[in-house]
Amino acid sequence: MCGIVGYIGNEQAAPILMEELARLEYRGYDSAGIAVLSEEGICLTKTRGKLQALRNKLAAGMPKGYSGIGHTRWATHGAPSDVNAHPHLDQKGQVAVVHNGIIENYQALRKELQAKGCVFQSQTDTEVVPQLLAQFLQAGEALLPALLKTLDRLRGAYALGILVQEAPDCLIAARKGSPLVVGVADTGNYIASDIPAVLPYTRRVYLLDEGEIALVYGDHVEIYSEWGERVDKKIYEVTWSVDAAERGGYDHFMLKEIFEQPKAIRDTLQPRIRQGRIRLEEAGLTEEYLAGVQRVVLIACGTASHACMVGRVAIEQLARVPVEWDVASEFRYRNPILYPEDLLIVVSQSGETADTLAALRLAREKGCKVLAITNVVGSTIAREADRVLYTWAGPEIAVASTKAYLTQLLCLYLVAIEMAYVKGKLSDETYARYIQELETLPDKAQTVLTSTEPEHALAKRFCHCRDIFFIGRGLDYAAAMEASLKLKEISYIHSEAMASGELKHGTIALIEEGVPVVALSTQGQVAEKLHSNIREVKARGAVVICIAYGDSSLEDGIADHLLYIPRTDDLFAPLLSVIPAQLFAYYCAIERGYDPDKPRNLAKSVTVE
Ligand code: G6P
């Protein structure tokens, strides 16, 4: 997500902040800024756009000063713009703050501060932090107590870098839920959300733990607990290369992003569940609106279209509303029948895919209301849609989509469950049970990631096969589509996904001795039917890999290999069953000697037709 940097020491801060920010560019961002404490006070420079835009703004002269903070922003609250870019100041310009994460109670805090006469410049959740801290300082509190009182008021997740005019010899770093490190060197000390930012200067860092606060001086660092007690911390020596550090120690972005999935699920889910209710009003999906929806049309490309296949089943099964599904490139050219009352949902990680955007425009021309489910705030699709439900997956860098897919599924499940509930199709008990189960999914996803050994071992065994087939029924079929796409796009092994009942109408002709078939087997209702299909391929020599619940009642000997996932409601199984498939695809690419982050012929964002 966003990047935080800071410096205090003997050198000019601004060039160091710019270099640190450059080290975080790989993370993806839409605006950037720095604040330097100069003799005249806090000097702020920020802009929408890339670091080059910030450099251009600074070309007339860098602010002079020996301490400062900087930020690259990936918009969450408030569109990408100069004013929403960080750092943010209190209204007197004496406290500057950069922030990663989401302050969940910012609206309440903002109202409270406005009632006391505070004027806000931006739409961000962050701006409450400098305003609040400034209030405590102006009331005569010393720095640390004022800070503790400020942090105590914040709900949600944050990593903060703070510059205070009244305390020119120190920088503040505070962490809760979002990572932050303090780099230590002879000529000064650094703060950063990610280790790569400080690596040009030092390999010695303090890794702040949950709730910890650091007062960073030019020549020493003091670390405190969230209760204000001094903490004695060991310095961590970074042994990774700069290149590996950008990937957080993972060999590839794809693997890093696969491992970020539990967090992505949590971040997407948590803000939408309050007091046992799914809340989607942020996207204009009020009870009244959802209750009136008569038909849903789901449109997307690639991985996002596979998320829509799951969404189609979920919405139809739960809400009993007819759903049409199509890929955007087909939809736009078939003169689709659309009614103004339809809810058209476009799903797009980037928010820029040309075909999806064209489908959105077509639907709006026909008078439909369009809901966008996207990962990029301020993207074209987000701006042109009538309503937006954001997936909070964070920037996805690997071309092969992983964490974005999971969060797209989650948003579609939330729409399906809430629509079903307000239409009276779900009992209170079932609704509560679904919500409870959704809340367990980050931990269950984490369980799947406990060991990657089984997937790696299977990849070693099968990576040289010519074809690998994926089969399943119902939601397993929808998940199989994505599993198969992952494999072919990064390993270049030919792969097809089939509704397993369709095998006998053609594809079974391709099954011969030793051909691997991956059977997704999570849907209890059709388990026996799937088992028959597995027997059909086994009878022709296929080697069968089953992805199934750890406690599932698979028939003896039906699978040659098993990849287990924790049990969940069958409805949510695609969220877990795709993870072993992502890992299998990743390791097949590695074993074949390909770079999974840069598959040939593919682009992350396809902005041409
Ligand atoms: C490209 C990417 C895929 C992605 C698809 C749709 O093909 O390589 O990973 O699923 O575009 O992109 P979107 O940004 O609209 O989700």
Mean pLDDT, residues 42-69: 95
**Alpha carbon distance 218, 483 (integer Å):** 51
Mean pLDDT, residues 127-146: 96
Ligand 1 geometric centre to CA of 301 (Å) = 6
Examine residue 345 and state whether it is found in any structural domain, yes or no.
Answer: yes
The CA angle 309-314-555, to the nearest 5 degrees, is 85
Residue in this structure with the two tokens 């993870």, named with its chain if needed: 579
Least confident of 209-223, 490-504, 590-604: 590-604
401 touches ligand 1 (CB under 6 Å): yes
Share of the chain above pLDDT 90, in %: 84
Least confident of 483-487, 535-539, 550-554: 550-554
**Alpha carbon distance 262, 448 (integer Å):** 10
Residue in this structure with the two tokens 């569109």, named with its chain if needed: 79
101 touches ligand 1 (CB under 6 Å): no
Active site (annotated) includes residue 2: yes
Q: Is the pLDDT of residue 321 over 90?
A: yes
Examine residue 279 and state whether it is found in any structural domain, yes or no.
Answer: yes
- Based on the fold, state whether residues 340 and 237 are members of the same structural domain: no
- Based on the fold, state whether residues 8 and 112 are members of the same structural domain: yes
* Range 138-147, long-range pairs (CB < 8 A, 24+ positions): 143/167, 143/170, 143/172, 143/215, 144/213, 144/215, 144/224, 144/228, 145/228, 147/172, 147/174, 147/213
Question: CATH number, domain at 229?
Answer: 3.60.20.10
- Based on the fold, state whether residues 69 and 211 are members of the same structural domain: yes
> Which pLDDT belongs to residue 79?
85
Question: For a substitution probing ligand 1, which of 350, 356, 360, 484 has the most ligand atoms within 8 Å of its CB?
Answer: 350
Mean pLDDT, residues 507-516: 94
Residue nearest ligand 1's atom 15 by CA:
348
> Which pLDDT belongs to residue 116?
93
Q: Is the pLDDT of residue 242 over 80?
A: no
Examine residue 605 and state whether it is found in any structural domain, yes or no.
Answer: no
- Based on the fold, state whether residues 66 and 120 are members of the same structural domain: yes
Mean pLDDT, residues 76-83: 86
Confidence of residue 555 (pLDDT cuts 50, 70, 90): confident
3-state secondary structure of 547: strand
> Which pLDDT belongs to residue 396?
87
Least confident of 16-20, 35-39, 234-238: 234-238
Ligand 1 geometric centre to CA of 323 (Å) = 22
- Based on the fold, state whether residues 524 and 412 are members of the same structural domain: no
329 touches ligand 1 (CB under 6 Å): no
> Which pLDDT belongs to residue 239?
75
Longest dimension (CA), the chain: 81
For the chain, the average pLDDT equals: 94
Examine residue 603 and state whether it is found in any structural domain, yes or no.
Answer: no
Ligand 1 geometric centre to CA of 434 (Å) = 29
Ligand 1 geometric centre to CA of 290 (Å) = 28
Ligand 1 geometric centre to CA of 325 (Å) = 17
- Based on the fold, state whether residues 72 and 185 are members of the same structural domain: yes
Share of the chain above pLDDT 70, in %: 99
Q: Which position among 2, 118, 301, 368 bears the catalytic label? A: 2
Ligand 1 geometric centre to CA of 12 (Å) = 42
484 touches ligand 1 (CB under 6 Å): no
- Give 243 or 113, the one with higher predicted confidence: 113
Active site (annotated) includes residue 463: no
- Based on the fold, state whether residues 196 and 297 are members of the same structural domain: no
- Based on the fold, state whether residues 173 and 308 are members of the same structural domain: no
Domain count, the chain: 3
- Based on the fold, state whether residues 198 and 277 are members of the same structural domain: no
> Which pLDDT belongs to residue 608?
67
Q: Which residues contact 541 (CB under 8 A, 6 or more apart)?
A: 511, 512, 513, 514, 515
Residue nearest ligand 1's atom 8 by CA:
604
- Based on the fold, state whether residues 207 and 340 are members of the same structural domain: no
**Alpha carbon distance 218, 180 (integer Å):** 18
602 touches ligand 1 (CB under 6 Å): yes
Q: Is the pLDDT of residue 362 over 70?
A: yes
Examine residue 98 and state whether it is found in any structural domain, yes or no.
Answer: yes
356 touches ligand 1 (CB under 6 Å): yes
- Based on the fold, state whether residues 229 and 317 are members of the same structural domain: no
305 touches ligand 1 (CB under 6 Å): no
303 touches ligand 1 (CB under 6 Å): yes
Instruction: Give the range of the structural domain holding residue 339, as residue numbers without chain letter.
Output: 253-448
**Alpha carbon distance 9, 469 (integer Å):** 59
Q: Is the pLDDT of residue 120 over 70?
A: yes
Confidence of residue 529 (pLDDT cuts 50, 70, 90): very high
Measured in Å, how far apart are the chain's first and last C-alpha atoms?
Answer: 29
- Based on the fold, state whether residues 293 and 238 are members of the same structural domain: no
Q: E strand or H helix at 255, and its extent?
A: helix 253-259
pTM to 2 decimals? 0.80
Final residue in a domain of this structure, among 210, 228, 245: 245
Q: Is the pLDDT of residue 35 over 90?
A: yes
C-alpha distances in angstroms, 402 versus 143, 440, 594? Answer: 43, 19, 18
Examine residue 77 and state whether it is found in any structural domain, yes or no.
Answer: yes
Question: CATH number, domain at 476?
Answer: 3.40.50.10490
Confidence of residue 225 (pLDDT cuts 50, 70, 90): very high
Examine residue 216 and state whether it is found in any structural domain, yes or no.
Answer: yes
> Which pLDDT belongs to residue 405?
98
Final residue in a domain of this structure, among 216, 245, 274: 245
> Which pLDDT belongs to residue 516?
97
Q: Is the pLDDT of residue 386 over 90?
A: yes
**Alpha carbon distance 252, 246 (integer Å):** 9
Task: Give me the DSSP letters along 296-322.
Answer: EEEEE-HHHHHHHHHHHHHHHHHH---
Examine residue 424 and state whether it is found in any structural domain, yes or no.
Answer: yes
108 touches ligand 1 (CB under 6 Å): no
Final residue in a domain of this structure, among 217, 245, 273: 245
